[in-house]
Chain A
Amino acid sequence: MFRSMRDAGGGTRLSFTFDGRPLSGREGDTVAASLLANGIAICRETPVSGAPRAPYCLMGVCFDCLVVIDGVGNRQGCLVPLREGMRIETQHGRRQAEEVLG
């Protein structure tokens, strides 16, 4: 869990949800950083054993920060910038292959 430094520049705030909870983050931050700053301790459960995981390297190497973003599974939270209105969810185990409608 992380918190903002006291003197950090304000910047624009963006609203997003994590597992349905409304949260806010700083424009310019990645999804992973935004989750950490909001005190989210766990972002996924592994497909092998279901063990909880959280961001580990924050530089695109470890793939432990995988989350579902706007319905698309297994996205690397540390490489995706936060956007207004993003719907972020815990990645529970294996991702779903998206249903194709129509």
Chain B
Amino acid sequence: MTINGNRNEGDVVVIGGGVVGGAIALGLARSGAQVIVLDEGDVAFRASRGNFALVWVQSKGLGLPEYALWTRCSAQDWHELAAILKEEAGIDVAHSQPGGFVPCLSEAELEKRVTAMRRLHNQPGLSDFPYEILDRAETKRRLPDIGEDVVGALYSPLDGHVNSLKLFRALREASARHGVDYRPNHAVATIAPRDGGFRVSGAWGEVGAGKIVLAAGLGNARLAPMVGLKAPVRPSKGQIIVTEKTAPFLHHPMGTIRQTDEGGIMIGDSQEDRGFDTIVGQPVISVMAERAVRTFPRLAGLNVVRTWSALRVMSPDGFPIYEQSQSHPGAFVATCHSGVTLAANHVLTLAPAILAGELPAAVASFSARRFHVPVHA
């Protein structure tokens, strides 16, 4: 874990120890890099602890077809990632790709979804994405437990899910076994380019590396300008309900309802622009519960064991930002709100490219320059 006997120098410093930072750190270490991960402590805005755990393809990429391709690539590579995590962390992250449904509770909802889906697939290069529009009868045939109010559904065989908390731990575990130096309670105050590399410091001291990766979620907005990058991300509040453990009866993930491998039913997902407020709001929870019960009336009697809210990391157009600094080569930013779906890409594709010093062509359109802001503030 030491380079030239100095444990405060690494090949790469990754700022952020969530699912995004954790995946990149693992990918870097698997490619042979000496990696230091700087993370915050127990209490932090952690989307990694609050996400919905879908590995989801359908409906993604309207407005940026490259995002649909990048997403599908990750969903395909997820099988390999799951195998790697089982082998290198000893953890089965319960990944499966049984196909996912989006049940709709009114004709208007269905119509809106269908229209969006058609527009999405009319974009260049996306004509071969498999999906189906199901009427009520066909939905009922495939999901016998649906309620009276379900008028139909969208379905894609590309969709799946995972146990995202096991993923989070498996990334950390595998990283630890690959010698990644993980440092909690190391909030970063400043990043300074120096001697062809970077010095990263905080109240805890200083570390240095030839490369840095900003994977600090919402923290990237503050850190990116220090190395000539932009990450204009803002919080988008999402709330989730989880019920007590239940005997298995949902065999497919839905856009907003899924049963975890442990048995709990997760119900999502709201989207609110409330700044950094993470209070669980009762009205939103009620609407989510009501829609879930209308979708699957069998859920009605289940006890809720937890609700929580977390903050998505949203860019202005909702798509990821991947970029290498032009003014300070070796500094990279990686930020997205689909860290679970994209984990396979981050471990297998993005990290090796970062170590090689050039981002893959597949993410060329994800530069923050698309927001028409000058690179230097």
- A contacts B: CB pair < 8 Å: yes
Q: What 6 pairs between A and B have smallest CB-CB spacing? A: A97-B298, A94-B245, A100-B297, A47-B245, A94-B263, A94-B247
Set of chain A residues within 8 Å of B375, measured between Cβ atoms:
none
A61-74 interface code vs B (CB 8 A; 1 in, 0 out): 00000000000101
**What class of interface size applies to chain B in its complex with A?**
10 to 19
Evaluate whether A72 and B301 lie within 8 angstroms (CB atoms) in the complex, with A94-B245, A95-B246, A96-B247 already known.
yes
List residues of chain A with CB within 8 A of the CB of B263: 47, 94
Interface string of B233-258 (1 = CB under 8 A from A): 00000000000111101000000000
Q: When chains A and B are docked, how far (Å) is the Cα of A95 from the Cα of B245?
A: 7
Asked if residues A98 and B298 are in contact (CB atoms below 8 Å), the reply is yes
Q: Which residue numbers of A lie inside 8 Å of B, CB to CB?
A: 47, 72, 74, 93-100
Does residue B1 face the partner (Cβ distance < 8 Å to A)? no
CB-CB under 8 A from B299, the residues of chain A are 97
Q: How far is the CB of B366 from chain A (nearest CB, A)?
A: 41
Return the contact of B246 from the options A97, A99, A100 (Cβ within 8 A).
A97
Residues on the B chain within 8 Å of A93, using CB: 247
Q: Is B2's CB within 8 Å of the partner chain A?
A: no
Known contacts A97-B249, A97-B302; A74/B297 CB under 8 A: no
Question: What is the interface of chain B mostly: helix, strand, loop, or mixed?
Answer: loop
Taking A47-B245, A72-B301, A95-B302 as given, write out 6 further A-B residue pairs in contact, using a Cβ cutoff of 8 Å, ordered by the A residue number.
Answer: A94-B246, A95-B246, A97-B247, A97-B265, A98-B298, A100-B297
Contacts of B122 in A (CB 8 A): none
Interface-centre pick from A72, A95, A96 (highest chain B CB count, 10 A)? A95
> Which residues on B sit within 8 Å (CB–CB) of A47?
245, 263
Chain A interface mostly:
loop
B300 in contact (CB, < 8 A): yes
> Who on chain A is nearest to B265 by CB?
A97
- C-alpha spacing A63/B244, complex, angstroms: 12
Q: How far is the CB of B249 from chain A (nearest CB, A)?
A: 6
Task: Give the CA-CA distance A98 to B296 in the complex, in Å.
Answer: 11
Smallest distance from the beta carbon of B295 to chain A beta carbons, Å? 12
Which B residues, 250 to 276, have Cβ-Cβ distances below 8 Å to chain A?
263, 265
Indicate the member of A72, A97, A98 with the most B CB atoms within 10 Å.
A97
CB distance from A61 to the nearest CB of B (A): 14
Q: How far is the CA of A47 from the CA of B265 in the complex (A)?
A: 14
19 chain-A/chain-B pairs, Cβ below 8 angstroms: A47-B263, A74-B244, A74-B303, A93-B247, A94-B263, A95-B244, A95-B302, A96-B247, A97-B247, A97-B249, A97-B265, A97-B296, A97-B299, A97-B301, A97-B302, A98-B298, A98-B300, A98-B301, A100-B297
In the assembled complex, how far is the CB of residue A15 from the closest CB belonging to chain B, in whole angstroms?
25
Complex-state Cα separation, A97 to B264, whole angstroms: 11
| Alpha-carbon distance A86/B245, docked complex (angstroms) | 24
Q: In chain B, residues 287-330, which have Cβ atoms closer than 8 Å to a Cβ of chain A?
A: 296-303
- Min C-beta distance of A12 to chain B, whole Å: 30
Residues of A within 8 A of B301 (CB): 72, 97-98
Min C-beta distance of B308 to chain A, whole Å: 19
**Known interface pairs A47-B263, A94-B263. Does A100 touch B247 (Cβ–Cβ under 8 Å)?**
no
**In the complex, chain A residues whose CB is within 8 Å of the CB of B245:** 47, 94-95
Closest to A96 in B: B247
> Chain B: which residue is nearest A100 at the CB level?
B297
Given contact pairs A47-B263, A74-B303, A94-B263, A100 touches B244 in the complex (Cβ within 8 A): no
The CA of A99 and the CA of B300, in the complex, are separated in Å by 10
- In the bound assembly, the distance between CA atoms of A47 and B297 in angstroms comes to 23
A72 to B303: give the CA distance in the assembly, Å: 11
Q: A66 to nearest B CB, angstroms? A: 9
What 0/1 readout, one digit per residue, does chain B (14-47) give for beta carbons within 8 Å of chain A? 0000000000000000000000000000000000
Closest to B296 in A: A97
Quick one: which of B299, B301, B302 has the most chain A CB within 10 A?
B301
Q: Which residues of B contact A99 (CB under 8 A)?
A: 298
> Chain A's nearest CB lies how many Å from the CB of B92?
15
Beta-carbon nearest neighbor of B302 in chain A: A97
**Residues of chain B within 8 A of A72, CB atoms compared:** 301
A97→B303 CA distance, assembly (Å): 10
Say which residue of B298, B302, B303 sits within 8 Å of A100 (CB atoms).
B298
- Min C-beta distance of A54 to chain B, whole Å: 19
Assembled-state Cα–Cα distance A20/B11 (Å): 67
A98 and B302 alpha carbons, distance in the complex (Å): 8
With the chains together, A100 CA to B299 CA distance in Å? 9
